[in-house]
Each structure stands twice: as structure tokens, then as C-alpha cells.
Amino acid sequence: AQSVTQPDIHITVSEGASLELRCNYSYGATPYLFWYVQSPGQGLQLLLKYFSGDTLVQGIKGFEAEFKRSQSSFNLRKPSVHWSDAAEYFCAVVGTSGTYKYIFGTGTRLKVLA
Amino acid sequence: DGGITQSPKYLFRKEGQNVTLSCEQNLNHDAMYWYRQDPGQGLRLIYYSQIVNDFQKGDIAEGYSVSREKKESFPLTVTSAQKNPTAFYLCASSMRPNEQFFGPGTRLTVL
């Protein structure tokens, strides 16, 4: 079955520390991959996406993600977290042809300590 | 500016009532989606539409209905058959298979 797993429900980091949020997917073929961020009571905003090519992708707000085909992973990273990064983060995938259904992980809620 | 609008932001429903959530986009996207979000459960797909006058059930369509009479509009009706409708509802659109663009959401509360 197709699925996206975000194993960490909550993560707490200190401001200025590095961050890595994990995402693993199960899909018949390599899908397109996305990371979104959601502030409380708001819609989702795209941070970055991977379609093909360089497996390290850069996004907005200083985030990057690395696609590892062998591990079916697409982990999100940031070298130095800011208090404003506190939010919920979602990993998502969609097939490269024939489907309009996006599959989302259950999210990781990030708390940032001052 | 292009984007997706949802209205109202907050909606209250009495038990037994149908309510309709609005979603409009001016991005010229073919596909539109409705998701339900509950704490700890991520986004669950209710309905999606690839083109005008066509839509498909998602994973939790029971108790909901939609229409797609215009490319820019995809309203969602929460019917009285939906037993637990209190949730945050998100509308999205996309040009497959690119990223989805999301609206600001509607929070529905049953009184």
C-alpha cells in the first residue's frame, strides 16, 4: 500500500540548533516529493519539492531536503532553527503519472525553545 | 494576486443541518481537493476533482458531497449524515503533478 511515514510526532529543539525531520515513503515507483509547513489555524505552505535531478533540494526559509532512493526517504533539514520555525511539518508524495491523489504523512510538530 | 480563498473562516452548525463550505481559486488549476484535518491525523482526502463536472471520492467521503460546475469553484457540503463533522477543512488546487496550493481553511464546529 502507498503510504508516507513521519515517525516523529513531536520534536523539540533549541533555537540555533540544527534540525532534521524524517520522512519515509512506500510507493510503487519513485513519486514526486514535497514538504509543507503549517502554522496553527492556517493552510499549508510549500517548503520544497523534488521531481528529479540533484537529490539535495533547497527550499524557502533556509530549509533543504535530501532524497535517498535506496532508503525511500526524503528528510528535511535546517542548519540553525529560528523561533519562527515552530509549526507543523508535513511530507507528501504524488505519483508521476495517472493519479491526482496526494498522500500525506501525519505530520511532525516542531517546538523551538528560546 | 492568484490564490485560493475559502469562506467562511469559522462556521457553526446545529446537529441535523447541512452546511456548505466555499472554495474558489484563480490559479487556473485543473484539479481541486478537499481535506479534513483532525489533531494527530494529518490530512485526510474527502473528494477531489480533476476537471469540471467530474469528481472522485477520497478516503472519507461518507457524509459529504461536492460539485464542480466551474473550473474555479469546488464547494463542499457537509450533510447531516456526517456524524462527527467538527474539524478543520482545507481546500487545495494543483496542476498535476505539481505541488498543491492550499487555502486558509474553514473551522467547522457542531453546536
Question: Residue A1: which pLDDT band, with cuts at 50, 70 and 90?
Answer: confident
Asked if A104 lies within 8 A of B102 by C-beta distance, the reply is: no
Q: How far is A95 from chain B (nearest CA, A)?
A: 7
Buried b (16+ CB within 10 A) or exposed e, A55-81: eebebeeebbbbbeeeebbbbbebeeb
Predicted confidence (pLDDT) per residue in B41-86, tens digit: 889 999 999 999 999 999 999 999 999 999 999 999 999 888 899 9
Which among A49, A97, A100 has the least Cβ separation from residue B99? A49
* Beta-strand relationship, A10-14 and A108-113: parallel
Asked if B40 lies within 8 A of A104 by C-beta distance, the reply is: no
Q: How far is A100 from chain B (nearest CA, A)?
A: 6
Binning chain A into helix, strand and coil, the percentages to the nearest 5 are: 10, 50, 40
Predicted confidence (pLDDT) per residue in B1-25, tens digit: 679 999 999 999 888 899 999 999 9
A17 contacts B81 by C-beta, under 8 angstroms: no
Q: Which grid cell sits at B3?
A: 490564490
Q: Which chain B residue shows the shortest CA-CA distance from A33?
A: B99
Which residues in A lie closer than 8 A to residue B34 (C-beta atoms)? none
